[in-house]
């Protein structure tokens, strides 16, 4: 458990104890306005995927926007329990729930909440039905289709249609529709648009196939970490599970330039053993660099080079050497938001350059 130094509200941002996970609420609110405007003339529901930050306070900011924003998506049953305790009543567990104990937990949540899960296996569907009937609750099911990601989901229209009818036939379950994870975006903007159109076309055709058999498909949901402007233009999608939004990370803003990263790690310079190398107090335990190294913000000629558990090494050009003396501060934009956030228990919330509060990352560690 992180033991932060709870400095007074109003503390200037550069005086925060480091390493610190800092969220700038002015940027969050700007990102919110941009995304809401992209979907303002559509009927697509925005479902925040809160596993990327694990913070009920941030999720509430999104839900409070009202129009086109309703419900949340989580990755695990444990996260669903945390957000249900925080007052969120419409919860999609965007995953398969297969163990007996977890299915029972989902049924407990369904006593007082609207709960939907992903499914892609007939035996699993039958087991959820049996337990739901025994507990006297109803669980919603989205049948997952694999459109090329190579993870969960059925991979043929015939299997998808059969599974949809199977869900519809089972007591204790409701067939909500179909869901797919969009394949991660490309850095090439024209290719990205054509890719998204192709993927959505696969899902839309699957929906038409099910409808042609006499079964309605209310929801066609997609999960995406970007491409929101393209998705908003689709007449087929009814719901988008938005990933790192509204906080964003380096990977997502690099191909969604209308947004800005609202979360950064503030670190202190510990040492400059040689002119071209600077050591900071942010390592693996704070930056989560498994999928990519963080990027320095606001200083040119400096590159994150490597990280150990507690330390980060920066490569520094001649021009930048004097800017990074010991006890100086640097800002790191995490490459992947979820991996970075998972290293902390609190966000340091700032507004207008000063500390505005500490927000707990309540679902951290709730993997079950």
Domains in the chain: how many in total?
2
- The whole model's pTM is what? 0.93
Question: Is residue 43 a part of any domain in this protein?
Answer: yes
The band of 293, judged by pLDDT with boundaries at 50, 70 and 90, is very high
Could you report the per-residue pLDDT of 61-91, keeping only the tens digit for each?
A: 888 876 788 899 999 999 999 999 999 999 9
Q: How far apart are CA 358 and CA 69, in angstroms?
A: 25
pLDDT at 69: 85
Higher local confidence (pLDDT), 191 or 338: 338
Q: Rounded CA gap, 296 and 183, in Å?
A: 27
Whether residues 89 and 234 share a domain: the answer is: yes
Regarding whether 226 and 334 lie in a shared domain, the answer is no
Q: Is residue 253 part of a domain?
A: no
Range of the domain at 220: 25-248
- In this prediction, what percent of the chain has a pLDDT beyond 90? 74
User: Are both 213 and 104 inside the same structural domain?
Assistant: yes
Structure tokens at 36: 């809401």
pLDDT value of position 16: 96
Q: Which residues lie below 8 Å from residue 276, measured CB to CB, with a gap of 6+?
A: 315, 316, 317, 318, 321
Residue 64: per-residue pLDDT:
83
Place of tokens 């919330």: 349
Element spanning 104, H or E: helix 100-110
Q: Are residues 39 and 18 in the same domain?
A: no
Who has greater pLDDT, 197 or 274? 197
146 in Cβ contact with 152 (< 8 Å): yes
Report yes or no on 61 lying in a domain. yes
In the prediction, which pLDDT does 228 show? Answer: 86
CB atoms within 10 A of CB 222: 24
Q: What is the per-residue pLDDT for 286?
A: 94
215 and 264 share one domain:
no
Residues in CB range of 36: below 8 A, 6 or more apart: 46, 65, 67, 68, 69
Q: Helix 100-110 crosses helix 77-85 at what angle (to 10 degrees)?
A: 20
C-alpha distance from residue 146 to each of 96, 152, 157, 171, 290 (Å) = 13, 6, 10, 26, 25
Cβ-based neighbours of 288, under 8 Å, separated by 6 or more: 334, 336, 338, 339, 340, 341, 342, 343
Residues 148 and 199 in one domain: yes
What CATH number should be reported for the domain holding residue 130?
A: 3.20.20.10
């Amino acid at each position: 458990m992180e033991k932060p130094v709870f400095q007074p509200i109003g503390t200037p941002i550069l005086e925060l104890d480091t390493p610190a996970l800092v969220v700038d609420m002015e940027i969050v609110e700007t990102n919110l306005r941009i995304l809401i405007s992209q979907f303002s003339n559509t009927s697509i529901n925005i479902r925040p995927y809160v596993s990327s930050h694990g913070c009920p306070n941030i999720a509430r900011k999104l839900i409070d926007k009202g129009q086109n924003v309703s419900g949340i998506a989580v990755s695990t049953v444990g996260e669903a329990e945390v957000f249900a305790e925080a007052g969120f009543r419409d919860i999609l567990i965007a995953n398969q729930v297969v163990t007996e104990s977890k299915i029972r937990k989902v049924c407990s949540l369904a006593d007082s909440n609207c709960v939907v899960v992903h499914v892609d296996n007939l035996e699993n569907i039958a087991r959820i039905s049996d337990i739901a009937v025994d507990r006297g609750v109803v669980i919603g099911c989205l049948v997952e289709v694999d459109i090329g990601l190579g993870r969960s989901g059925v991979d043929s229209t015939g299997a998808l249609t059969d599974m949809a009818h199977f869900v519809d036939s089972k007591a204790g379950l409701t067939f909500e529709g179909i869901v797919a994870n969009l394949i991660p975006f490309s850095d090439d903007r024209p290719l990205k648009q054509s890719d998204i159109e192709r993927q959505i076309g696969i899902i839309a055709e699957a929906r038409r196939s099910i409808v042609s058999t006499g079964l309605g498909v209310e929801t066609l949901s997609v999960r995406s970490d970007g491409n929101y402007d393209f998705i908003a233009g689709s007449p087929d999608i009814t719901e988008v599970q938005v990933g790192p939004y509204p906080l964003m990370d380096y990977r997502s803003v690099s191909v969604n330039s209308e947004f800005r990263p609202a979360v950064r790690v503030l670190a202190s310079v510990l040492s400059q053993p040689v002119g071209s190398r600077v050591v900071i107090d942010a390592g693996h335990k704070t930056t989560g660099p498994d999928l990519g190294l963080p990027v320095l913000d606001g200083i040119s000629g400096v590159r994150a080079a490597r990280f150990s558990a507690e330390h980060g090494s920066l490569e520094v050009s001649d021009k930048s050497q004097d800017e990074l003396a010991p006890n100086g501060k640097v800002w790191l934009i995490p490459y992947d938001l979820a991996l970075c956030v998972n290293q902390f228990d609190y966000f340091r919330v700032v507004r207008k350059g000063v500390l505005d509060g500490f927000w707990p990352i309540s679902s951290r560690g709730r993997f079950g």
